[in-house]
Amino acid sequence: MFSQNNVRRLVYLLVLSIALVLAGGFLAWWTQTSGGSITIQDVRFTGTNGTQMSALLYIPPGVTAENKAPGILAVHGYINSRETQAGFAIEFARRGYVVLALDQTGHGYSDPPAFANGFGGPDGLRYLRSLDIVDTNNIGLEGHSMGGWTILAAAIGAPDDYRSMVLEGSSTGAPFAADGTATWPRNVAMVFSEWDEFSSLMWGVDTPPQMVDTDKLKTLFDTTESVEIGRLYGSIADGTARQLYMPRGTHPNDHISTEAIGNAIEWMQLTLEGGNGLAPSDQTWYWKEIGTFIALIGGILFIFPAGALLLQSNLFKDLQAPLPTSKGATGMAWWVAAALTIAIPALSFFWLQNNGNQWLPASAFFPQTITTGIMVWAVGNGLITLVLFLVWHFTSAQKAGATKESYGVSLNLRVILKSLALAVCVIFGVYMLLAISDWMFKTDFRLWVVALKPMNFLQFHIMLAYLIPFTLYFLVASTAINGQLRQANADGSPVPLWRAMLANAALMAGGIVILLIIQYSVLMSGNPLPLGEPLLTIVAIQFVPLLAVVAFILTYFFRKTGRIYVGAFICALFITWYIVAGQAIQFAM
């Protein structure tokens, strides 16, 4: 049982977590609305074949049907959502442009499947032009990565309905889009970062700087010479203007780059009439990113005091059990187990995910390709870990007196079900905080590529399908780090909680950190990714903080309950929700 002082501290921590959510959400709202002057609307509209489309509409102050403003369609890339374009949308709106930040088909809250109907681009442009507050003679298109193909699809479908476009980390001639020429598309700015991971896919070159000599880019720029970065080619008036920007950064870095966002602003100001002329360097979007990051910290922090306080309630207090005596590996055996724990997730990351998509193609049961790949990776790691754990247990630990109780494993169904109920209560609390933030501030919890979004009914249904496999993984992971890898002092007493949490975070996330260091140290030295796999490399970035958070939760609740279940169930619910809500749906539901 906790002392009264400990309970008081938990209450303070709970209040702090809620305060962080509210303060972060308010800062994000204040930034994205420029102090409340810009109106942001969550809009839904019907697209091709009855597809329900989702977007955020940014309306600058003073814009009405009598005082129209230029419009910009802004589109995110693959496995992102409308909020990912916030940096661009905020800055365009601050300059007097009406902005429609679209969810592509099968992404965010737009109906599946992904890739359908020109990714939703033609529908998005049509809706933007239907607004009576938009000057339809001054429409700009901006898209990042696959969002670039989305706006190209819109330009193909309505070649006279836009004036200029910005392709961020994208290209012409990609699937579902036409090759660029000297006259099509109209007034194109190409923003392609110096270390963009997708130079081979987009331009057929090993590294981005080599794209200036490709026939594909030369044809677009109507030149036989190497394309010069920063030089204006063609004529804005004739619609043949072209300019290449190459900011320093990576593909996902375009979202949080003042340089890349500034390039897009500059091009729209050059090619669209209207707006207030605010300098491209005058940017405030990053305060929104800071705000949503503060809210994300608050949402995650909430898990710990909320769970601990629930353990003090009459309903759940019997889940508290003494911490079992450590029977974990010691000496060289511990170091071997630690090395394998670090290495296996990294070594299997690409192989299991790629093969998982072949073994389990998108279906009505598992309709998200990336989520299925991650699930196969998690389950595969769980099976490998379980086999190695059992070998260690039966050849070594059992002889030293270890039992399943030593690892916090209980077969008591009542304990398991009550642990699940507690986990549901905790995650429901986090979800309510997020829902309130979404309602009050039109924001989610995020930092860069790490984003926690509310789910719609379809995503909740999908989450339930993926939940069981992820739960099995977290049960095994909790057993391994809190059983085999649990460290103790020389006298057998447990090491401090903070030390155990940090050590387990290093064990769970360390392999992905090493993988990313290998990939990006080579890429940033001017060479292609040594292991290839640009998409999954970007996906891996978010697993560094996610696996660290998982380690914190598993360790903390093992200490509080003496068992693996509460932490494992919280992680399963949280991570499955996180992944499903942020992924594309490839199967028509």
Residue 258 resides in a domain: yes
Contact 511, 342 (CB under 8 A): yes
Rounded to an integer, the average pLDDT of 3-24 is 93
Domain boundary among 283, 316, 336: 283
Residue 242 shares a structural domain with residue 341: no
Rounded to an integer, the average pLDDT of 111-132 is 97
Of 235, 257, 237, 238, the residue nearest 246 (C-alpha): 257
Rounded to an integer, the average pLDDT of 377-393 is 97
Residue 469 shares a structural domain with residue 354: yes
Can you name the residues that pair with 72 across neighbouring β-strands?
99, 140
The pLDDT value given to residue 12? 97
Residue 589 resides in a domain: no
- Per-residue pLDDT band for 2 (boundaries 50, 70, 90) equals low
Residue-averaged pLDDT of the chain: 96
Element (H, E) at 392: helix 369-392
- Per-residue pLDDT band for 6 (boundaries 50, 70, 90) equals confident
Q: Flag whether pLDDT at 544 surpasses 80.
A: yes
- Per-residue pLDDT band for 507 (boundaries 50, 70, 90) equals very high
Residue 193 shares a structural domain with residue 244: yes
Domain boundary among 257, 283, 309: 283
Residue 252 shares a structural domain with residue 375: no
Residue 534 resides in a domain: no
Q: Flag whether pLDDT at 38 surpasses 80.
A: yes
Residue 4 resides in a domain: no
Residue 215 shares a structural domain with residue 300: no
Q: Flag whether pLDDT at 164 surpasses 70.
A: yes
What is the Cα–Cα distance from 547 to 511, expressed in whole angstroms?
A: 10
Residue 544 resides in a domain: no
pLDDT digits (tens, 9 = 90+) for 413-422: 999 999 999 9
Residue 542 resides in a domain: no
Residue 304 shares a structural domain with residue 222: no
Q: Flag whether pLDDT at 104 surpasses 80.
A: yes
Rounded to an integer, the average pLDDT of 97-126 is 97
CB atoms within 10 A of CB 401: 9
Q: Flag whether pLDDT at 255 surpasses 80.
A: yes
Q: Flag whether pLDDT at 466 surpasses 80.
A: yes
Split into its structural domains, the chain has a count of: 2
At 81, which CATH number? Answer: 3.40.50.1820
Contact 533, 350 (CB under 8 A): yes
Q: Flag whether pLDDT at 1 surpasses 70.
A: no
> 3-class DSSP state for residue 509?
helix
Residue 307 shares a structural domain with residue 259: no
Q: pLDDT over 90 for what percent of the chain?
A: 95
Q: Which token pair is 533?
A: 């796999």
Of 452, 482, 486, the residue nearest 573 (C-alpha): 452
Contact 349, 540 (CB under 8 A): yes
Element (H, E) at 129: helix 121-130
DSSP letter assigned to residue 167: E
Task: Specify the pairing of strand 164-168 against strand 134-144.
Answer: parallel
Residue 464 shares a structural domain with residue 329: yes
234: left (phi over 0), alpha (psi -120 to 50) or beta: left
Residue 52 shares a structural domain with residue 118: yes
Q: Flag whether pLDDT at 352 surpasses 90.
A: yes
Residue 417 shares a structural domain with residue 314: yes
Residue 393 resides in a domain: yes
The whole domain housing 486 covers 292-516+549-582
- Per-residue pLDDT band for 4 (boundaries 50, 70, 90) equals confident
- Termini Cα distance of the chain: 48
Residue 326 shares a structural domain with residue 402: yes
The amino acid occupying position 346 is: A
Rounded to an integer, the average pLDDT of 143-170 is 97
Residue 241 shares a structural domain with residue 369: no
Q: Flag whether pLDDT at 240 surpasses 60.
A: yes
What is the Cα–Cα distance from 534 to 141, expressed in whole angstroms?
A: 25
Rounded to an integer, the average pLDDT of 356-374 is 95
Domain boundary among 283, 311, 329: 283
Residue 532 resides in a domain: no
User: Model pTM?
Assistant: 0.96
Q: Flag whether pLDDT at 92 surpasses 80.
A: yes
